[in-house]
Structure 1
Amino acid sequence: MARRPRKETAAPTAPVTVTVCRGCCCGVAAKHPDVDHPGQLERLRAGVGTAGRVRAVPCLDACDHSNVVVVSPSAEGRKAGGRPVWLGWVLADDMLDEIADWVQAGGPGVAEPPGTLDLQQFAVSRRVGQGLPN
């Protein structure tokens, strides 16, 4: 029996992913009572739109930097050398807007982050970095 030739399909492309910590310290009124945590998530989702995806996770184990957001590169960004960028103390609307603008521009590996986000970046241990959920 002859095999049918395989149909050529384009490999799916992974979008820029914005992971928002909503664990014990991030996203809770007890630590940041003046922040509208659900509103932050909605603002990010609206700003990112179809350029990427935004997801909330229970804890990223970087509590000293709360509120933590990780911007992970798209497949294209990874090919260009982009790596996840960890941002801490994301508490103000202008920070959320800058993250959304960066995602709209292509994110890590494709576009440079807005200069003010440099102040928010921090490094995590390999253990924490490898624990980032997919």
Structure 2
Amino acid sequence: MREAAWLYPIVEIVHITGFAVLVGAVALFDLRVLGCARALPLRALAAHLLPWAVGSLLLIVPAGLLMFSSQPGDFLGNRTFTLKMALLLAAGINAAFFHLGPWRRVSAWDVGAATPARARLHAALSLLLWVGVISCGRLLAYT
């Protein structure tokens, strides 16, 4: 990664592109849970967006590991990187609790019905966490 002048930037572009797809899919889903486009069946939207989210992880994870491997000491010593990783963990935990909780009863509020408050809370928290992850990712270049 350090030897080739273009390798790190190319890997970073792959990472950012994957992240754009992942966060785009998550944001669309979360906005639907928050009440946008209520006529759109949530389960159908989830079925459409999930492959994009999973596919994007196939770009993000290896690219992120490659970038990390280029200077692990610098990343581990950077508070912004630590915060980004903590926010990623929190986003994953939030998603797990959403799927183990409100999502199990989605058939009752899939289309045309009010979304339960707990599901809306998870969606709002998800959006905030992902904005934090994106912010930390950008700030890494400056900290």
Query: Which TM-score band (shorter chain)?
Result: under 0.3
**Structure holding more strand per residue:** 1
Identify which of structures 1 and 2 has the higher relative contact order when contacts are C-alpha pairs closer than 8 Å and 6+ apart: 2
**Structure holding more helix per residue:** 2
TM-score, normalised via structure 2 length: 0.26
TM-score, normalised via structure 1 length: 0.28
